[in-house]
């Protein structure tokens, strides 16, 4: 399979971009769990790409492909320049964040507040598309604040699709820009999968990915009868083995025991430690791997308490792993 084919096929399953979570170490672990899924970086503001430490912000391991960079911003020129840099770094896609509801994002005029300005989003996407060959996509909500009817959502998508954007990742909730925290915005506004399914019915030419509340294999399989892909969010961190099970169901790959998957991470961990990376930065993504399993609480406790030590190495992970029981899969 070519890299282009792998990218195209990866639309079926992706892991959501999440601040303070989807760093390069987490993405390498998720790649081991889900070899064919599409991975996303944390959101990076376009100005940070232009003027910040690019290698720290944009660097990634080759095994992370297919990989997308998520950008934040509303200055079309800055976003276009950031896209050129992303393409040069080797990213497979650039995604514009039009869904994050945090106060920090609103103050900078990017994220979910841009759903109130579809023409600004369209202008940004146009500039980004004109600057690069790789796909440029949008991640949005169903609406914001008082705007919560299907017509508003559909009109937003139409405005952005009109300039050539072909792929939309939709968190199937609206966002309250005042009164709810980002955490509450992930939980309180009701999910409306039917709106996303209707959009795909009305615009079969667009590639539509459903995000929000997807944690079970059966949910994902059902969603894929209506849309092109599913995006897993918090579940990939709280219970990362769910990501592995969903991937196996969607792509027909073998289900492996948690222990075997973790051992496959050893070469990467040792290489990173040799480069001076602290174990705590890598182990954070592993904490929920044995959630609700025998020894799972001790596994998490050992990593939480011992990984922050400057001397912590792979033996800490082995010690944590020794508290668990080997799974016999059906």
- Span 226-249, mean pLDDT? 97
Number of helices followed by number of strands (H, E) in the chain: 18, 9
Per the DSSP assignment, residues forming a β-bridge with 209 are 169, 229
The topology (CATH level 3) of 3-251 is TIM Barrel (3.20.20)
Question: Is 83 one of the annotated active-site residues of the chain?
Answer: no
- Span 151-169, mean pLDDT? 97
Residue range(s) occupied by CATH 3.20.20.70 in the chain: 3-251
End-to-end Cα distance, the chain: 30
pLDDT digits (tens, 9 = 90+) for 245-272: 999 999 999 999 999 999 999 999 999 9
pTM: 0.94
Q: What is the pLDDT of residue 259?
A: 96
- Span 139-149, mean pLDDT? 88
Residue range(s) occupied by CATH 1.20.120 in the chain: 258-321
CA 10 – CA 231 distance, rounded (Å): 11
Cα angle, residue 265 at apex, residues 316 and 230 outer, rounded to 5°: 120
Catalytic residue (choose from 26, 100, 113, 140):
100
8 Å CB contact between 122 and 163: yes
pLDDT digits (tens, 9 = 90+) for 287-315: 999 999 999 999 999 999 999 999 999 99
Per DSSP, the three-state class of 45 is strand
E-assigned strand segments in 61-171: 67-72, 93-98, 136-140, 167-171
How far is residue 130 from each of residues 4, 164, 213, measured CA to CA in Å?
A: 20, 10, 34
CATH class of 258-321: mainly alpha
For tokens 């001790």, name the residue. 298
pLDDT digits (tens, 9 = 90+) for 171-204: 999 987 766 566 675 666 789 999 999 999 999 9
8 Å CB contact between 165 and 207: no
- The H-assigned helical ranges of 91-239 are 103-107, 118-131, 150-161, 182-185, 193-202, 217-223, 235-238
Helix axes 266-274, 314-321, angle to 10 degrees: 150
E-assigned strand segments in 212-263: 229-232
CA 148 – CA 69 distance, rounded (Å): 28
């Amino acid at each position: 399979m070519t890299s282009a084919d792998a990218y195209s096929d990866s639309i079926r399953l992706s892991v959501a971009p999440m601040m303070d979570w989807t760093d390069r170490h987490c993405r390498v672990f998720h790649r081991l769990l889900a070899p064919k899924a599409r991975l996303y970086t944390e959101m990076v503001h376009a100005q940070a790409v232009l003027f910040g430490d690019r290698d720290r912000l944009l660097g990634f391991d080759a095994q992370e492909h297919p990989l997308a960079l998520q950008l934040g911003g509303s200055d079309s020129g800055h976003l276009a320049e950031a896209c050129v840099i992303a393409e040069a770094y080797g990213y497979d896609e650039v995604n514009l964040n039009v869904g994050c509801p945090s106060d920090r994002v609103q103050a900078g005029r990017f994220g979910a507040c841009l759903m109130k300005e579809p023409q600004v989003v369209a202008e940004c996407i146009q500039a980004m598309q004109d600057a690069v060959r790789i796909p440029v996509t949008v991640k949005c909500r169903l609406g914001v604040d008082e705007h919560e009817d299907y017509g508003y959502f559909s009109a937003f998508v139409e405005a952005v699709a009109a300039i050539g954007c072909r792929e939309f990742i939709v968190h199937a909730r609206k966002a309250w820009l005042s009164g709810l925290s980002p955490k509450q915005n992930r939980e309180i506004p009701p999910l409306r999968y039917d709106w996303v399914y209707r959009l795909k019915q009305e615009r079969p030419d667009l590639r539509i990915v459903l995000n929000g509340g997807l944690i079970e294999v059966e949910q994902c399989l059902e969603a894929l009868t209506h849309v092109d892909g599913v995006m897993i969010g918090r579940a990939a961190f709280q219970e990362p083995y769910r990501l592995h099970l969903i991937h196996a169901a969607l792509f027909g790959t073998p289900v492996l025991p948690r222990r075997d998957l973790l051992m496959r991470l050893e070469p990467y961990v040792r290489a990173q430690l040799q480069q001076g990376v602290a174990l705590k930065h890598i182990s954070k993504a592993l904490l929920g791997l044995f959630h609700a399993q025998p020894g799972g609480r001790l596994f998490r406790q050992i990593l939480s308490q011992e990984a922050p030590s400057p001397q912590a190495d792979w033996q800490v992970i082995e010690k944590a792993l020794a508290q668990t029981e080997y799974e016999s899969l059906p």
